[in-house]
Amino acid sequence: MELTHFNTEGRAHMVDVSEKAITFRAARAAGQVQMNAATMAKIREGTVGKGDVLAVAQVAGIMAAKRTSELIPMCHPILLTGVELHFRLEETALHIFSEVRCKGETGVEMEALTAVSAAALTVYDMCKAIQRDMKITDIHLLFKEGGKSGVFTAEDD
């Protein structure tokens, strides 16, 4: 497989997508924040001192997806047409899911992954006074479609 983010001199460069067709692109990602049951209870009850953890994490994820190109050096700025974040709460794990969509020349996998990452970091930030040993884990791509590489679906999800 050819590495596309290197020029003929072996140095990093931003891939030129000007000749690519504009097509529908979508990606979904997931991750989780592991915590103790007492911390999760405070999130469920809305009693975390900094506010509504899930509402703030959702906004953080959306904002991060929109600004991915400012965080990841070789990512293109993309006009996103949709960003959604969903949460599933278990006794000791908060599962975070993102879906990102656009019509463009390049995919939105990094935007979906960045959304999950920022949401997880926001949960950690808002709950760290309660529990400092939370773990952010398993951030990964679940699905992507669009472009010449077609559809990808993670095998274990």
Catalytic residue among 16, 52, 125, 138: 125
Q: Following DSSP, what letter does each residue of 20-72 receive, concatenated?
A: SPPEEEEEEEEEEEE--HHHHHHHHHT--TTS-HHHHHHHHHHHHHHTHHHHS
SS (H, E, C) 109-123: HHHHHHHHHHHHHHH
3-state secondary structure of 140: strand
**Which structure tokens are listed for 18?**
């000007």
Cβ atoms within 10 Å of 6's Cβ, excluding its own: 12
Whether 133 is catalytic: no
Give every CB contact of residue 28 below 8 A, 6+ residues apart in sequence: 97, 98, 99, 100, 112, 141, 142, 143, 144
- Provide the annotated active-site residues: 125
